[in-house]
Structure 1
Amino acid sequence: MSRVIQTDGVGKQRQTLVRALALAVRELMHRGMIDAQTRDLVAFLVLAMEEIAQNIDETVKAWEKRGYWLKADRFRLDWEWTQMLSQQLRKAIADEDWDFVARLVGEIAGKVSHVEVPVHHRLGTPWNGAWEKLKVKLLTRE
């Protein structure tokens, strides 16, 4: 039996999610009012950052197996903002505190400002329907 090569690893998924985050933040910066599209964008930020935070442990597993503890810890510290900001943003959405949401979106923008998203990207609009997904997740946690 031959080896199975996985072409879509967690690093590639993380890179795609970060690009989508950057795209969503830039789109959100152009929004003037809170409507369904704005809610979808903010909910997508929460869901994407939560997914990135979950993938971090999978990435560092191999490093820890080989004894690269410092590298693994440094990587976790570099990405810990995703979990922290997603939790704060989730709470702000639940409380309908849109001023705090705007402040958090500004922080996220600072984290992904270095990301280049090509004009002709293949990301599409991954935030469509994110508000409904987040509401379902909120209801199942309670």
Structure 2
Amino acid sequence: MTIKPSESGTTYRNRLTKSIVLAVRKLMQKGQPDKESLDMAAYVVLALEKIEESVDLSATAWEKRDYWLKADRFRMEWDWTEGRRLALEKAVLRQDWGKIATELILVAQQFNKVEVSDKNRLGEPWLGAWKVLKERG
């Protein structure tokens, strides 16, 4: 996913957080892990990485305008993403489903106020994410 020219960093992060919530929700509904489960877990890793990049871009823009305190607070608000992403990425690459479930629950707790309707237009953005993660990792 990339930022569209008409899309702000906030809109982009909101879209990513909703898609993460949707992926976690669908993954937790599955009885047994399958190929799509790997795609979903890998997608969460990639989406968290994009959120990190977006946060850094926004904070850097604020720093250029001398909003140092705002930039620092914003970075602190999203500071958890890197640790969760790294732990989840390691678990996904090892296909350690116990650790994946634990990490996904921790991620989901961060997004507990995010609402995704059943009739959303997000689709299935996780398709092919496992292949992307595996090739680069």
Alignment-derived partner of residue 44 in structure 1:
43
Which runs of structure 2 are paired with 1:1-142 in the superposition (5 Å)? 6-138=5-137
Q: In the TM superposition, what is the alpha-carbon distance from 1:94 to its structure 2 partner? A: 2.2
The answer for unaligned runs of 5 or more in structure 2 is none
Alignment-derived partner of residue 3 in structure 1:
none
CA–CA distance in 1 between the matches of 2:84 and 2:121?
A: 26
Flag the structure with larger Rg. 1
Q: CA RMSD in A?
A: 1.1
Identity of matched residues, %: 41
The answer for unaligned runs of 5 or more in structure 1 is 1-5
Residues 91-133 of structure 1: CA deviation (Å, up to 9, x unaligned): 1122332211111011011011110112221100101111111
**How many residue pairs are counted as aligned between the two chains?**
133
Q: In the TM superposition, what is the alpha-carbon distance from 1:89 to its structure 2 partner? A: 0.6
Other structure's SS at 2:7 match? coil
CA–CA distance in 2 between the matches of 1:91 and 1:66?
A: 37
- After TM superposition, the score normalised by the length of structure 1 is 0.89
**Amino acid aligned to 2:123:** G
- After TM superposition, the score normalised by the length of structure 2 is 0.92
**Amino acid aligned to 1:46:** V
